[in-house]
Amino acid sequence: MGEEKKATIKKIQATGQMRKIMADYFYELDAAAKDDSQKVAWCTSVGPAELLLSLGFRVYYPENHGAMLGATRMATNCIPAANAIGYSPDICSYLTSDVGAYLRKETPLTRAYEGIEGLPRPDVLVFNTNQCRDVQDWLSWYSRELQIPIIGISTHRNIGRITDKALESIVQQMEDLIPPLEKISGNKFDIDKLRDAVALSKRCSELWKKVLETNMASPAPMSFFDATIQMGPAVVLRGSETAIQYYELLLKELDERTANGVGAVEGEKFRLYWEGMPIWGKLRDMSEFFIRFNTAVIASTYCNSWIFESFDPADPMMSMARAYTEIFIVRDEDFKEKYIEDIVHRFKLDGILFHDAKTCPANSNNRYGMPERLEKKLNIPTLTLNGDLNDLRCYSEEQAKTNIEAFIEQLETK
Ligand code: SF4
């Protein structure tokens, strides 16, 4: 096989603009944290951000910081510091790298953005356990460390059909958050402001979905590895005009690529699904490796997780409850299988890669026979890669590459 072939990652021009809006976002957060008249909320990535925005909070997402620690490979040095205070190497490595970075007084923010000296100090910590329990434990650590109030939502998990009763319980929990948030922010809850925030998030989500769906074209204009970077504004800037403008720009560029038959991978031969977390410290490496084999990884559960179909400004609370409950990670095996099946058909995929992330069972869906069931149903091969989102000690590059090469050979035979 031609591994010697030169791999060139095609640059997405809009990325320059994305770096600018992400920098503005962090500088504004930094300024807000230093200004007594502004309040900062830390929120889990699929938490009730729109509620916080409607109450005037600047919102910071620790998981985004976790991903930065992974992508810069700072995580490797930080994780042991959290292990040393009793946070196991087996639990979420976003949590351990982030807590470890705090203990070591390190953050990629100071390296990336001149003048920022640390994380924006929170006034409140807000979680939603829809994705896992680790997020609550993570923010609880900061609550104890910084003496900051923590509040949140407990969501049922592993669910198939979403019942009205389950959603009503989420709505009730969100309503219970309002009085303490009003007190901390000094602002009165205003349903119209919430409608505005939900409307902006909805538009952002629709555009992000369109961006990802450009990859239904063959060749696909953007790889999964590109998309993990491009999703930054959908994570931290949803609920803002800025994110909407960015995705309009990106969509235009990807549509142009499609119209001109330009693919992310030159000579695209195979199209794959990535199920599970990215391996943040190996994005470029992985991207180049697949390009060498004319193989495009072009659809994923992970990037789709910021598509919130149900947001509805006419019914903001209930639609937020639904949007944050119906995402993939909250659902049962049957739902997940059908979800992946649908994407395999729509994106005309040739195979599925499962990433078994050692420290994130919630996002490792290979562990209860799903790859084998999908192979049978879809008549396409699957491959499980052992690794982790941030802890590179759990990832063997040599083994992963040997397995991927063998997998691509299998696709060629097929
Ligand atoms: S879903 Fe996984 S990666 Fe995300 S916070 Fe939970 S354990 Fe960590």
Q: Where are the domains of the chain?
A: 22-190, 194-413
Q: Which helix (H) or strand (E) holds 409?
A: helix 397-413
CATH of domain 22-190: 3.40.50.11890
Is 365 touching ligand 1 by the criterion CB < 6 Å?
A: no
Which class for 380: exposed (0-12), middle (13-18), buried (19 or more C-beta within 10 A)? middle
Percent of the chain with pLDDT over 90: 98
Average pLDDT (86-103) is 98
- DSSP secondary structure of 338-357: HHHHHHHHHTT-SEEEEEEE
Which tokens is 310 given? 């149900």
Other beta carbons within 10 angstroms of residue 160's beta carbon come to: 10
Is 357 touching ligand 1 by the criterion CB < 6 Å?
A: no
Is 46 touching ligand 1 by the criterion CB < 6 Å?
A: no
- DSSP secondary structure of 25-39: HHHHHHHHHT-TTS-
Is 363 touching ligand 1 by the criterion CB < 6 Å?
A: yes
Q: Are strands 382-387 and 351-357 parallel, antiparallel or unpaired?
A: parallel
CA 233–ligand 1 middle distance (angstroms): 19
What is the reported pLDDT for 4? 57
pLDDT digits (tens, 9 = 90+) for 145-166: 999 999 999 998 999 999 999 9
Residue 103's φ and ψ, nearest 5 degrees, are -65, -35
- Write out the CATH class of domain 194-413: alpha beta
Looking at the predicted structure, is the pLDDT value of residue 3 above 60?
Answer: no
What is the reported pLDDT for 195? 98
Is 18 touching ligand 1 by the criterion CB < 6 Å?
A: no
pLDDT digits (tens, 9 = 90+) for 44-56: 999 999 999 999 9
> 246 and 14 in contact (C-beta within 8 Å)?
yes
Other beta carbons within 10 angstroms of residue 350's beta carbon come to: 17
What is the C-alpha end-to-end distance of the chain, expressed in Å? Answer: 16
Percent of the chain with pLDDT over 70: 99
Looking at the predicted structure, is the pLDDT value of residue 308 above 60?
Answer: yes
Q: Which residue has the tokens 């949140």?
A: 152
Q: What are the residues whose beta carbons fall under 8 Å from the beta carbon of 46, sequence distance 6 or more?
A: 128, 130, 131, 305, 324, 327, 329
Looking at the predicted structure, is the pLDDT value of residue 354 above 70?
Answer: yes
Q: Which residue has the tokens 């900051």?
A: 148
Same CATH fold, 194-413 and 22-190?
yes
What is the reported pLDDT for 271? 98
> 124 and 147 in contact (C-beta within 8 Å)?
no
In the beta sheet, which residues pair with residue 58? 40
E-state strands within 235-381: 270-275, 295-300, 351-357
Q: What band does 313 get if pLDDT is binned at 50, 70 and 90?
A: very high
What is the reported pLDDT for 6? 76
What is the reported pLDDT for 414? 83
Cα–Cα distance, 186 to 192 (Å, whole number): 17
| CA-based radius of gyration for the chain | 21
Looking at the predicted structure, is the pLDDT value of residue 2 above 60?
Answer: no
Report the predicted TM-score, pTM, of the whole model to 2 decimal places: 0.96
Mean pLDDT, the chain, whole residue set: 97
Handedness of CA 287, 292, 298, 302 (dihedral sign): negative
Cα–Cα distance, 108 to 93 (Å, whole number): 16
Cα–Cα distance, 357 to 277 (Å, whole number): 7
Average pLDDT (309-322) is 97
Which tokens is 215 given? 């990859």
pLDDT digits (tens, 9 = 90+) for 197-217: 999 999 999 999 999 999 999
CA 133–ligand 1 middle distance (angstroms): 8
Q: Which helix (H) or strand (E) holds 58?
A: strand 58-60
